[in-house]
Amino acid sequence: MALCMKKSPKLINHLKYRMCLFDMITPSSWNSTSSHHQEFPVTAPIAHNLGNPDADLSVKATLFSACRFKSTKPEKQLNSLNDADDNKILDFPGGKVRFSPKMTFISESPEERTQCYRVLDDNGQLILGSNLVQVGEELAVKMYNDMITLQTMDTLFYEAQRQGRISFYLTTIGEEAINIATAAALTADDHVFPQYREPGVLLWRGFTLQEFANQCFVNKADHGKGRQMPIHYGSNKHNYFTVSSTIATQLPHAVGAAYALKMDRKDACAVTYFGDGGSSEGDFHAALNFAAVLEAPVIFICRNNGWAISTPTSDQFRSDGVVVRGSAYGVRSIRVDGNDALAIYGAVHAARKMAITEHRPILIEALTYRVGHHSTSDDSTKYRPVDEIEWWKLARDPVSRFRKWIESNDWWSSEAESEFRSSVRQQLLHAIQVAEKAEKPPVADIFTDVYDVPPSNLHEQEKLLREAIRRHPRDYPSDVPA
C-alpha cells in the first residue's frame, strides 16, 4: 500500500478527502517511522466552516478527532530511545518502552517530598534568589485591600449567623492569599469553577459587598432568587459559576469548559478550586485524565488545608499530598506555599500562560491551613488542638505576612490600615442592614426558570404549597410574599 501511494498522488488526494486525513498522509510520510506523529494544518475549506454552526457535522467531528492525535510530546520523548535492538524495545501504544532484566517496583513514595515554591518568608521578607514574578504598587495594594475586605466580611457575616440573622456561613480565614492572589493572576475572561471557599475571587472581579449581603440574607435582589444556601454565590457577569455543595463535581465541568474555550480559540482558560478532601472524589481523577488527554487549558487549584471537615490528610491518602497525582495523569504540577501571596500569584500567572499557549492542564497544590471552623455547623476544636489553630493564626497568617512586605516597600502604613479597615467595616454594616430589610423573593420564584411552559405537575405542586401556607401561616416565614 505504501508503494502504491508513493506512485499515485491522485489516490493520496482521494484518501485525504474520503478519510479526512488532511496532511497526515503524504508521500514523504511513508519514509518515516514516526509519520503518524506529524502535525497537520487545517485546510482552508474546513477552517472556513469552523465558524459556521450549520457546517457539516462530519467535517467538525473529523477535525476534532484529528486534534486528539496531535498530542505526541510524551511519545516523541519515549521514541527517542535507540531501537537498534528490537529485543530491548517494545513499541507499545503511547510510545516505546525499554525492557529490563531486573525486576524493579516503583517506590510508593519518593525519598524526599516535593518541594514547595515560596517567595516570602514568615516575616514578609523576600527570600534571596527567589524566582519572583514582579508585582507593582497598585496591584499589591489592591491585593492587600481585598484580603482585608474578605477578612472583615467573614467576621461580620459569621457574627450575623451566630446572631440568627442568616442560616449558614463559611469563612476563608487563613486562606485569604489563595483567594485574592489567584484571582489577581487571572483575567476576567477566564472561567472560574469554585468550590465554596473562594468568594475572594468573586470579590476581586467586582462583585459588590451589597451583592454578597443580598445572597447571604436571601432577599429579592439575590441573583439566585433565594434558591441557594448562603455563600453559594454565582455571577454570569463575572464568569463565576454558581457554587455547588457537592464535592468535586465542578472539576469535570471546568475541563469541559476549558475544552470549549480551546475549540473556540479563546485567549482564556478555565480555573477550578477544590480542597484536599475533593481529591478523594472520583470526579477529581476523571477530570485530570480528561484534561490531560484532551489537552484542555484548565488550572486545577487544590487548597490543601490539612482537613476535610474533621478528616485529616493522613486519613485520606498516603501519597505525597496532591501534587504528585498530576504526573500520574500526565499533568504538569507545582506545590506552592498557600500563605505566600507573591508565590501564589507567580505560580498562577505562569500556569495560565502555559495552559493557554501550550494547550495543557496545570495542577497547583497550595499548602495552607483552615484557621476557622469548617462552617458554622462545625466545631473544629473537637478534632484538632487549639494550640495548633492559634499557631497558624499568629505565625503563618498570610494577610499580615503580605502587609509586612508592602510596608517594607513604603506602599502601606498603619494610618492607611486603620482608615481602610474602618471604611470597609462601615460599608459592610450598611450592606447588611439594607439586605436584611429588603423584601424576600416571592413563592412563585420557586417554580420558575426551569421550564419554558411549566408542566401540570409543577402547577399542582405550587397550588398545594399555597394552600399549605394559607392553612398554616405560622409555619411559614411571614416576610415571604405568597
**Residues labelled catalytic:** 159, 245, 374-375
Specify the DSSP class assigned to residue 89: E
Q: Which among 183, 122, 188, 192 is positioned nearest to 150, based on CA atoms?
A: 183
Write the DSSP assignment of 100-133 as a string of letters: -SS--PPPSS-SSPPP-B-SB-TTSPBPTT----
Q: Which among 338, 299, 341, 336 is positioned nearest to 204, based on CA atoms?
A: 341
Residues 6+ apart with CB under 8 A from 35: 24, 26, 29
The count of other CB atoms within 10 Å of the CB of residue 366 is 30
Q: Which among 151, 450, 183 is positioned nearest to 301, based on CA atoms?
A: 183
d(C-alpha 182, C-alpha 252), whole Å: 20
Q: Which strand ranges, in their side-by-side order, compose the sheet holding 332-337?
A: 191-193, 270-275, 298-304, 362-367, 332-337
d(C-alpha 410, C-alpha 341), whole Å: 18
d(C-alpha 29, C-alpha 382), whole Å: 67
Cell 491551613, residue located: 369
Cα angle at 331 between 175 and 179, to 5 degrees? 15
CA distances from 4 to 18, 29, 30, 34, 100 (A): 17, 13, 11, 19, 39
Q: Which among 405, 339, 347, 337 is positioned nearest to 133, based on CA atoms?
A: 347
| Helix/strand/coil for 283 | helix
142 phi and psi, to 5 degrees?
A: -65, -40
Asked whether 262 and 296 are in contact (CB, 8 A), the reply is yes
Angle (deg, nearest 10), helices 137-162 and 341-357:
110
Helix or strand (DSSP H, E) at 337: strand 332-337
Q: Which among 191, 204, 231, 238 is positioned nearest to 344, based on CA atoms?
A: 204
Which ranges of 274-385 would DSSP assign to H, the alpha helix?
Answer: 282-294, 324-328, 341-357
The count of other CB atoms within 10 Å of the CB of residue 214 is 21
Residues 6+ apart with CB under 8 A from 358: none
